[in-house]
Amino acid sequence: MNPHDSPRGLSFAIGAYLIWGLMPLYLYTLRDIPAGEVVAHRVLWSLPIALIVLRQNGQLETVAATLRRPRLVAMAGLTAVLITVNWLTYVWAVTHGQTVEAALGYYINPLFSIFLGWALLGERLSRPQLAAISLAVLAVVLLTTAAGGLPVVALTLTVTWGVYAYCKRRLPLPPNEGFTVEVLLLFVPAAGYLLWLEWTGAGHFGRSASESLLLVGTGVITAVPLMLYANGAKLLRLSTIAVLQYLAPTMVFLIAVAIFHEPFAGVRLVAFPLIWAALVLYTATLIRRPARVG
């Protein structure tokens, strides 16, 4: 992590968050296609993009070496499963009128990451961080009580992405190579599933030119922001990333309410401000933390 912000890193990170923030508009055009099929296409069309980027940067040998190490393959297999569940949940949420809850999940995620650091790494929590986690828990309790059940979409997105990020930190691979190994491991089951759908007549690819192009485009909206973020994060301060990470869920939230006209009333009017207050506390702890050089 750099002690100073690079303009190049800033452009990479903002580009990634803008794509993630606008993604619901893209996915909504695929609302008539099952989430599993959309995710399979995300995997299928992400792979050639990832391989082209690695070839351009001379990084293919790292991927080949990783595939010869069973322990690393097993670790990448775990992260591949986690990101698949995350993608499935997110696509389903956007295409089934649950985009507000999806935004909630990504708002909660930084606070869940703090909790993971405490639970799994023995990191100490400051008082502002404890207060932030407490506010987030209170918000979830309020939503659960009002709905008569847990906000499953939000919590699934929070847990899968949080654990995914934790496991990725422990996977000794650069970000681009790690992502490529993940989609390589997912490629065979994804391609097999899509072939089965076409064989049974249930697949949507090829039915219309526009729909097919949109499905191919899922590879672009999947691989490009992940790689932009991975390269941008290395050139930015932690405090900068802490502020920028709220850009995507805020855009998702605004799209859900202003464009999709999903309900934002009742207990959500209390729960969301609690989450936002928690994020202010959390971000303040990062901004005040002195940057480490080296």
User: Higher confidence at residue 75 or residue 165?
Assistant: 75
User: pTM here?
Assistant: 0.89
* pLDDT tens digits, 86-135: 999 999 999 999 999 999 999 998 888 888 888 887 878 888 888 988 99
pLDDT greater than 60 at residue 3: no
Within the chain, what is the greatest distance between any pair of CA atoms?
A: 59
**CB-CB contact of 277 with 136 (8 Å):** no
CA distance 147 to 11: 40
CA distance 228 to 24: 19
Alpha-carbon dihedral 198, 153, 28, 25, rounded to 10 degrees: -140
